Amino acid sequence: MALHRLRLRIWKDRGFKAIVILFSFLSIVPLLLILFYIIKNGILSISWEFFVELPRPVGEKGGGISNAIVGSLLLVIIAGLPSIPLGIAAGIYLSENKKSRITYWSGLAVDVLQGTPSIVIGIIAYLWVVVPMGGFSAFAGGIALGIMMLPMIVKATEETLSLIPGSLKEASLALGVPYYRTILRVILPAGVSGIMTGVLISTARVAGETAPLLFTAFGNAFMNWNLTNPVHSLPLLIYNYATSPYPEWHRVAWGASCVLVVFVLTLNLVMRTVIRRWKVQF
């Protein structure tokens, strides 16, 4: 077989590899730019006052984001309280009853729920909580975020428990331990790292969400601990301030972005150590 265009093919081979490497590293550029800008613009705002003071009205210097931080925390807790137990319970059912019809449809529902746009979830929480309650509230925001956390926790639980070898369950059952205790005292603890990962990932995800809060938690210029009133959150504050015409507010938004990004990235790193430290080897 005549080997024509040999030089061309060899150059194409080298060129292709170079392009693949180039484009791969170009993809990192936006991440670096974003982190750079946020830290550069936001770091100046960060101070102790920034964390403990309330935002000042337009025109006044200083102020902080304490209400947004507290609000974000409240929302995540309200979201997690129902969704973590429910998600884990559903995950247990799905991993233990693989052949059941309910498992099939529930798994499908989980996938669909996970892919549902967050703004749609916001509307649902509006219809289900805000309207009956007659107003915006932290509770509504928490429900919206909880619905978003649910599928991620179910999946993490199901996948983690499915990886645990059946011999562990058999050993426990063979000792005369009832099934429900086997799951709760043997299987679940063995899967703790995977489930924790799911909880952390979903927390990081909903902590940064804005859209579902636009018409549920709504935002609040003041500190609020009352769950039936509107509450602020970091992403909401960033949205309001970034889209405002006031440079002073932009500065606060950069600072808040800095806090949010650091929080999310820290959670990501914590997640990695959790996986490594707590992972049970089989």
Partner 1 sequence: MDTLVLSKGKMLSTHPGVRAEATFQKTIFLSALAIIVLLVAIFLSLLIHSVPSLKAFGLSFFFSKTWDPVSATFGVLPFLVGTLLTSFLALLICLPFSLAISIFIGEYFKKGALSSFLKTVTELLAGIPSIIYGFWALFVLVPIVRNFQTKIGIFPYGVGILTASMILSVMIIPYAASIAREVISLVPSDVKEAAYSLGSTRQEVITKVVLPYARSGIVAGILLALGRALGETMAVTMVIGNSNRLPKGFFSPGNSMASVIANEFTEATASLHISSLIEIALLLFLVTMIINIIGKYIIKKISVEA
Partner 2 sequence: MESAILKTEDLRAYYEDNQVVKNINLSIPEFKITVIMGPSGCGKSTLVRCFNRMHEMVPGARIEGKVFLKEENVYDMEPITVRTRIGMVFQRPNPFPMMTIRDNVIAGYILNGIKLNRSKSDDIVEQSLKEAALWDEVKDYLHKKGTFLSGGQQQRLCIARALAVKPDVLLFDEPTSALDPKATSHIEGLMADLKNTVTIILVTHNIAQAGRVSDFIAFLYLGELVEFGPKGRLLTTPKDKRTEEFLTGKFG
Q: Using CB under 8 A, which residues numbered 68 to 87 contact partner 1?
A: 86-87
Phi, psi of 221 (to 5 degrees): -70, -10
Taking residue 134's Cβ as centre, other Cβ atoms within 10 Å add up to 8
Stretch that binds partner 1, among 58-66, 101-109, 187-195, 221-229 (CB under 8 A): 101-109
Q: Which amino acid, one-letter code, is at 218?
A: F
Q: Does 197 bind partner 1 (CB under 8 A)?
A: no
Residues 122-151 that bind partner 1 (CB under 8 A): 123-124, 126-128, 147, 150-151
**265 binding partner (options partner 2, partner 1, none; Cβ < 5 to 8 Å by kind):** partner 1
Q: Write the interaction track for partner 2 spanning residues 245-274; mark x where CB under 8 A is met and - where it is not.
A: ------------------------------
DSSP codes joined into one string, 208-265: T--GGGTTTTB--SS----TTS-B--HHHHHHHHHTSS-HHHHHHHHHHHHHHHHHHH
Q: Write the interaction track for partner 1 spanning residues 210-249; mark x where CB under 8 A is met and - where it is not.
A: xx--xx--x----------------x--xx--xx------
Angle of helix 247-278 relative to helix 28-42, nearest 10 degrees, comes to 120
Q: Does 277 bind partner 2 (CB under 8 A)?
A: no
Q: Does 16 bind partner 2 (CB under 8 A)?
A: no
**4 binding partner (options partner 2, partner 1, none; Cβ < 5 to 8 Å by kind):** partner 2
- Rounded Cα distance between 216 and 232, Å, is 10
Helix, strand, or coil (residue 54): coil
> Residues in the site for partner 2, rule: CB under 8 A?
1, 3-6, 9-10
